[in-house]
Amino acid sequence: MQRHLPTLPVRKNPMAGIALIEALVALLIMAFGMLALVGLQGNLRRSADLSKQRGEAVRLAQKEIESLRAYSVLTHADPDNPVAGVLAYTDISPLANANAGDPSSNAVFTLTRAVTPWAQAQSQQTAVRVRVGWLDRAGDAQFVQVDSIVSRADPGLSAALTIAPASLTVHRPAGREPSIPISAHDLGDGISVFVPTSTATVAWVFNNLTGVIQGKCTVTAGTQSSALSATDVAACSNNTWGYLLSGFVRFSFSSPPDANQPSGVALTLDAGLVKGNEPDAPDHECYDNSAQVAPALGTVVSYFCIVYPSIALPRLWSGRLLLDGIELAATDPKPRKICRYTADYDGNGSISNAEHPLDYVKVSGALTRQNFLVINASETCPVGHAINPAAGYFSNTATVLHQPDQP
C-alpha cells in the first residue's frame, strides 16, 4: 500500500536575477565611460594639435615682425634696382602669403601683413599687423594676430650703443655730444638746431646723443638758432643723415708768420671737399662767415660743413678739404699759402682723421677743430710748439703745408 505525500507549493526566490541586472547596469555604465574616454581622447588630440599649431603661428608672426625690424638701410640707393638681400625701411609694405609655414607641418598657414603709417608719429613710425590663419583638425578656422610698431631709425644709430650713457659722472658740454656747436639751440627733446652762419638759409638738426645731423630745414636768412623751436623743425627733423666737419681759419702775414697768436686780417674764402686719394668726393655743403668777418677787419673765420657719408653700413666718407677763393698762384698780386694745424696729438705714431691729415679716410663721425693758417706764399709754414704748460703753452700750434697740395 503506497502512501502519497502531499505536494507542497514551490516558493520563488525574490533575489533571483539581481546579479544579472547588476552586471548589465555595470556594463552599461562602463560603455558610457568608454564612450566618454573616446571623446576625451579626441578632444585631447585636437587640443594638442591646436596648441602646436598656435605655437607655430605665433612663431611665424613674431619672425615676420622681427624680420621687418632688421632693415639695414632706410631706402635703396636705386629704388628701381634694389640690391638683392638688402631690406630697406621703405620695403615694409602689405603682404599676403598663402603658404607661410613649414611644409612638413600638419596645417597650412596663411600669413597676411597690413601696414599703416602711424599718424601720431608724423610718419616716422609704421604700424604693422601680422595675421596668421589656418584650419584645425576639425576644419574650424583659427588665427593668431600680432600688432607692433616699426620705427624709422637709421641703422647707423646702432653705433650709439657704444656711447657712454648720460648718467655717468663725465659731463659733456651742455649735456650733448661734444661735436655739436656750443651755439646750437637745445630743443629739450634730444635734439638741437643750428644755423651755420648769419646769412645761411638752412638749419641743421643734431641728435644730442650721437652728434649726427639728422635733419635739414630751410629758414629765412638771418634767422638765429635760438629763435627756432621744436615746432619749426618738426617736419624736417628726420629727413637726412650727415656728419659735421668744422674748424677755424686764421691769418698771419708777418715775417715770420706766427702760429701761436695769428692776428692777420681775414680774407674771404670758400671751403669744400675734393676727392683726394679716393675715387669720389662725398656730397657736402659748406658755409663760412668770411663775407661778414673780412669787411669788419676780423681775424678769425669759422666754417661748418655737412658731409653726407655712404648709405652702406658702416656710414663712411673720404676726401680732402680745401679752401678756395684765396690767391695761391705765384702770378697773383698777393699770393698766399695755406697751412693746416696738425700733429700726432695722441702720440700713437700716426695722424688720425681727428688730427687733421691731408686726406680724410673712412671718416665715421663728426670732425671739429680742423683749423687752418693762411700766410704769405714767400713764407714757410711755422713749426709752432707742442703743449707745454710749464712754458705757458696749452695747445699744440704745429702746422704743415696744405695748399698748394703736398706732393
Tell me the per-residue pLDDT of 226-246, one tens digit each, with 9 for 90 and over. 999 999 999 898 899 999 999
Choose among 343, 192, 203, 325: nearest CA to 269: 325
Read off the pTM: 0.66
Domain residue extents for the chain: 23-153, 171-403
Predicted pLDDT at 39: 64
Residue 153 and residue 135: Cα distance in Å, rounded? Answer: 38
Residue appearing with cell numbers 596648441: 51
Predicted pLDDT at 25: 79
pLDDT digits (tens, 9 = 90+) for 42-70: 677 777 888 888 989 999 999 999 988 88
289 contacts: CB under 8 Å, gap ≥ 6: 197, 198, 301, 302, 303
Q: How confident is the model at residue 406 (pLDDT cuts 50, 70, 90)?
A: low
The average pLDDT across 288-303 equals 96
Residue 147 and residue 68: Cα distance in Å, rounded? Answer: 13
Region for 51 from its dihedrals, namely left if φ exceeds 0, alpha if ψ lies in -120 to 50, beta otherwise: alpha
Residue 281 and residue 193: Cα distance in Å, rounded? Answer: 26
pLDDT digits (tens, 9 = 90+) for 358-382: 999 999 999 999 999 999 999 999 9
Does 247 have pLDDT greater than 80? yes
Predicted pLDDT at 388: 86
Query: Is 151 within 8 Å of 125 (Cβ atoms)?
Result: yes
Does 86 have pLDDT greater than 90? no
pLDDT digits (tens, 9 = 90+) for 197-222: 999 999 999 999 999 999 999 999 99
Helix segments in 18-81, DSSP class H? 18-69
Does 281 have pLDDT greater than 90? no
Helix segments in 70-159, DSSP class H? none
Predicted pLDDT at 19: 73
Greater pLDDT, 163 or 292 = 292
Predicted pLDDT at 288: 96
27 contacts: CB under 8 Å, gap ≥ 6: none
